[in-house]
Amino acid sequence: MSADLTHIDTWLFDLDNTLYPEESGFMGQVEGRMTDFVAKVTGLPRDEAFVLQKKYLAEHGLTLRGLMLNHGVDPADFHALFHDLSLDLLAHDADLLAALERLPGRRLIFTNADDKHAERVLAHLGLDHLFDDVFHIHSFGFTPKPDPLGFERMIDAHGLTPATTAFFEDSERNLKPAFDLDMTTVLVGARAEASTAPFVTYRTTKLAPFLSGARLKEAA
């Protein structure tokens, strides 16, 4: 059955591995550069740096947050790692473009990445004109998802009404604060169907057909 999203007037999307498929391999390149950076900062062998990278991600919601707190890393130095990364693995998706265009109301990006990365990816995907704003890691003061404070700051900044907002994410745990705030939550990606989390409203392996088939609010 198609999802009932007739109450939604604000569409909140994660960026990486949500607006393009994880299978693209693009985030693998991002993680590789991240591991190299952690190894350089800490002096650890690369395999140990990878373990620490994932530890910080689990503890803080963002590897960068752990690096800032424990190693005094400048966020600008960290983000610069990815600003020249090739985007060739990311392909235009005409079906997703059409599905996003039919959504009534505001469309926003909510990402733990920085503004430049988000702008590069959205422009490459041909989706940048569809979104009203990008709420990025600088916007919410480096309190990354799933920190509830980041959600509160995003809601305040854009005057969102959680009950009429749908949030799309590839990370299950990032959906819990949204659900607790009364948002409709949608888990996207290859692991979605296996999820049994009670805070996930809908699950879909592919975003475009889910949006295309959803029931939407009629235009006024």
User: pLDDT digits over 120-137, tens only?
Assistant: 999 999 999 999 999 999
Residue 218 has what pLDDT?
Answer: 84
Domain 4-21+91-216 has CATH 3.40.50.11930: no
Other Cβ atoms within 10 Å of 201 Cβ, number: 18
Q: Is 145 exposed, middle or buried (0-12, 13-18, 19+ CB in 10 A)?
A: buried
Alpha-carbon distance 200 to 193, whole Å? Answer: 11
List, run by run, the mean pLDDT of 10-residue segments along the chain (220 residues). Answer: 94 98 96 96 97 95 93 94 96 97 97 96 98 95 93 96 98 98 98 97 98 87
Length of the chain: 220
Burial (Cβ within 10 Å: 0-12, 13-18, ≥19) of residue 179? middle
In the chain, CATH 1.10.150.450 covers 26-82
SS3 string, 62-90, reads CHHHHHHHHHCCCHHHHHHHHCCCCCCCC
pLDDT of residue 61: 86
Predicted pLDDT of residue 179: 98
The count of other CB atoms within 10 Å of the CB of residue 75 is: 15
Handedness of CA 19, 144, 47, 190 (dihedral sign): negative
What is the fold, at CATH topology level, of the domain defined by 26-82?
Answer: DNA polymerase; domain 1 (1.10.150)
Instruction: Provide the pLDDT for residue 219.
Output: 62
Residue 92: burial class (beta carbons within 10 Å; 0-12, 13-18, 19+): exposed
Quick one: tokens of 41?
Answer: 């900062």
- pLDDT given for residue 19 in this prediction: 98
Q: How many CB atoms lie within 10 A of CB 196?
A: 7
Residue 21 C-alpha from the chain's centroid: 12
| Beta carbons within 8 Å of 43's beta carbon, 6+ residues apart | none
- CATH 3.40.50.1000 residue spans of the chain: 4-21+91-216
